[in-house]
Amino acid sequence: MKTRIHARLEQLKGIRTNIELSNSDHVEKSSYIQMVDMNIEALTDIVTLVDAVNNNESKKVEDWFKRFKV
């Protein structure tokens, strides 16, 4: 699963670059880039968390989850 997440993250980064370079009038670029950036951020978070779990970095995992406490 981790390999697919890494592959999708790299794919999204490439898509973002292609959007910025394209001359298409069919897509409102800023909104599309914002959506792609949100997905890149989410996948980066997942990769960071999975890596911390796999490396037994309990403090990093704990800090990651603390972000969601109110």
pLDDT tens sequence across 17-36: 888 888 776 767 888 889 99
pTM of the model: 0.72
The better pLDDT of the pair 26, 48 is held by 48
Would the pLDDT of 1 be above 60?
A: no
Cα-based angle 61, 64, 70 (whole degrees, multiple of 5): 130
Alpha carbons 57 and 19: distance in angstroms, whole number: 36
